[in-house]
């Protein structure tokens, strides 16, 4: 059987040790973990997260794992589902732009569930397991390319199962053979449709379901259950061929390229707007234009955003007020929000904002058009944008965005990440607990038992 790519990822994940991770990657990983947990704690208060929790609690009386930011408990797989949904619940969490994946939302719920149910995993082992997931997931995304989401698959959910399986397998200390099966079990559960972005609550659940699927893969493989051993290589029904609907619209070499040398963890970006990542470069460009030549929303005649075709499909559709999901994902609505409200964070997306007549009217003055030249620059630049602003007095302004704040090229400072974390976490936890959790994450390598994270995350 030809499965060198699947086996290569399994070998890497199962054998990765803390000391093999470069110091700068370890430090970045802790910052990424802190950010994701802050997002999850804010998510605990959201309607769709509450509905999901209440439904799971009605079905599942197992109380082995915490639901973060609450006093509720569920079985490990259901906790992974609920907690992953909370991380991705309000368009606040990280993104690997080139790999088109929200990494923390799929890795951490599965891994913390393992830590909570298998006591004794120290902080260094936890970080090694997390790194296994943060390295595996983006590589699958790079293999599939931006055309994967362009075809309508929610890539964060489809490729995310492998990130979760790799992390959970390393957390369970599975050998290469069982980790290989965990990847194969996870891969056959991959799912997620981008039509959910037009207002459906289920879009928020995709990451949680992906994390749950990866955890199932690791738990089943631990007991000897077998999966697709060549999940990436199989010609008929394999992940790459099936999800690309082709034999060549993917690049398997990306799965192992630079593995253990080029750390994809360093390519994970953070968000400082509460909206889809495709919109951030445009919002940054508008802020820069306003700083150079101040203008008000009522002065705008028209705005044209030039982006990649994937950005147009993902965020450039004509806005209709179908719920907060559509408001946070729609480019024109987010542009209107920034110009009218002066910010685009959680406060600007409270229930009812999606029907704000002022924002809708201004959004109709915003057009998003495809620029194939951006796609030609490669997946790493898929969020690049050129913004043209026409004012009613005849003034014409033009700005560009390529690397938004929080991206690999323009990463946030530790102070900025901590500020964001503390603001979000305060929605669910008292200040003392927020500070204890912050210190535990930033000092993870010294933690004797990573289950401490779950205890601190519980309200």
- At 5 the three-state DSSP class reads helix
CB-based contacts of 347, cutoff 8 Å, min separation 6: none
pLDDT value of position 379 = 77
CB-based contacts of 34, cutoff 8 Å, min separation 6: 417, 418, 421, 438, 441, 442
DSSP state of 318: P
Residue with tokens 């959201």: 46
Six token digits for residue 364: 């109709």
Beta bridge partners of residue 113, listed in sequence order: none
Nearest to 107 by CA among 243, 218, 224: 218
pLDDT value of position 34 = 99
Q: How far is CA 14 from CA 68, 155, 377, in A?
A: 27, 24, 34
- Write out the chain's pLDDT in tens, 459 residues: 899 999 999 999 999 999 999 999 999 999 999 999 999 999 999 999 999 999 999 999 999 999 999 999 999 999 999 999 999 999 999 999 999 999 999 999 999 999 999 989 999 999 999 999 999 999 999 999 999 999 999 999 999 999 999 999 999 999 999 999 999 999 999 999 999 999 999 999 999 999 999 999 999 999 999 999 999 999 999 999 999 999 999 999 999 999 999 999 999 999 999 999 999 999 999 999 999 999 999 999 999 999 999 899 999 999 999 999 999 999 999 999 999 999 999 999 999 999 999 999 999 999 999 998 888 888 778 889 999 999 999 999 999 988 888 998 899 999 999 999 999 999 999 999 999 999 999 999 999 999 999 999 999
Nearest to 109 by CA among 150, 154, 53, 68: 68
The values of phi and psi at residue 432, to 5°, are -60, -45
Q: Where are the alpha helices (DSSP H) in 293-330?
A: 309-315, 324-329
pTM above 0.85, yes or no: yes
Say how far apart CA 87 and CA 83 lie, in whole Å: 6
CB–CB of 215/168 below 8 Å? yes
Say how far apart CA 444 and CA 85 lie, in whole Å: 24
CB-based contacts of 236, cutoff 8 Å, min separation 6: none
Say how far apart CA 53 and CA 44 lie, in whole Å: 9
């Amino acid at each position: 059987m030809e499965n060198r790519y699947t086996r290569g990822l399994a070998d890497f994940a199962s054998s990765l040790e803390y000391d093999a991770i470069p110091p700068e990657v370890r430090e970045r990983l802790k910052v990424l973990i802190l950010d994701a947990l802050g997002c999850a704690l804010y998510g605990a208060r959201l309607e769709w997260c509450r509905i999901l929790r209440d439904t799971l609690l009605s079905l599942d009386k197992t109380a082995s794992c915490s639901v973060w930011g609450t006093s509720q408990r569920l079985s490990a797989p259901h906790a992974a589902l609920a907690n992953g949904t909370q991380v991705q619940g309000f368009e606040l969490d990280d993104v690997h732009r080139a790999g088109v994946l929200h990494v923390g939302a799929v890795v951490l719920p599965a891994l913390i569930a393992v830590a909570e149910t298998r006591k004794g995993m120290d902080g260094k082992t936890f970080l090694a397991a997390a790194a296994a997931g943060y390295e595996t997931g983006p590589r699958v995304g790079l293999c599939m390319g931006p055309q994967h989401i362009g075809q309508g698959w929610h890539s964060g959910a489809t490729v995310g199962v492998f990130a979760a399986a790799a992390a959970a397998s390393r957390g369970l200390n599975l050998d290469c053979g069982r980790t290989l099966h965990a990847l194969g079990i996870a891969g056959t559960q991959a799912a997620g449709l981008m039509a959910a972005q037009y207002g459906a609550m289920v879009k928020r659940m995709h990451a949680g379901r992906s994390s749950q699927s990866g955890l199932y893969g690791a738990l089943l493989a631990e007991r000897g259950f077998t999966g697709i051993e060549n999940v990436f290589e199989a010609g008929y029904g394999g992940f790459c061929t099936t999800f690309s609907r082709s034999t060549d619209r993917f690049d398997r070499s990306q799965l192992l390229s630079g593995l253990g040398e080029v750390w994809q963890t360093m390519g994970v970006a953070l968000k400082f707007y509460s909206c889809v990542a495709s919109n951030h470069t445009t919002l940054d460009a508008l802020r820069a234009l306003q700083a150079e030549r101040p203008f008000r929303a009522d002065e705008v005649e028209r705005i044209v955003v030039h982006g990649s075709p994937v950005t147009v499909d993902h965020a450039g559709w004509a806005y209709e007020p179908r719920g907060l999901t559509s408001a946070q994902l729609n480019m024109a609505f987010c542009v209107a929000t920034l110009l009218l409200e002066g910010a685009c964070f959680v406060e600007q997306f409270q229930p009812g904002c999606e029907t704000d007549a002022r924002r809708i009217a201004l959004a109709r003055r915003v057009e998003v058009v495809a620029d194939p030249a951006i796609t030609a620059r490669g997946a790493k630049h898929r969020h690049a944008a050129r913004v043209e602003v026409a004012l009613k007095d005849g003034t014409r302004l033009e700005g560009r965005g390529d690397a938004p704040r929080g991206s690999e090229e323009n990463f946030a400072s530790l102070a900025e990440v901590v500020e964001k974390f503390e603001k979000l976490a305060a929605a669910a936890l008292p200040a003392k607990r927020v500070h204890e959790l912050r210190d535990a994450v930033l000092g993870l390598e010294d933690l004797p038992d990573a289950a401490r994270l779950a205890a601190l995350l519980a309200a």
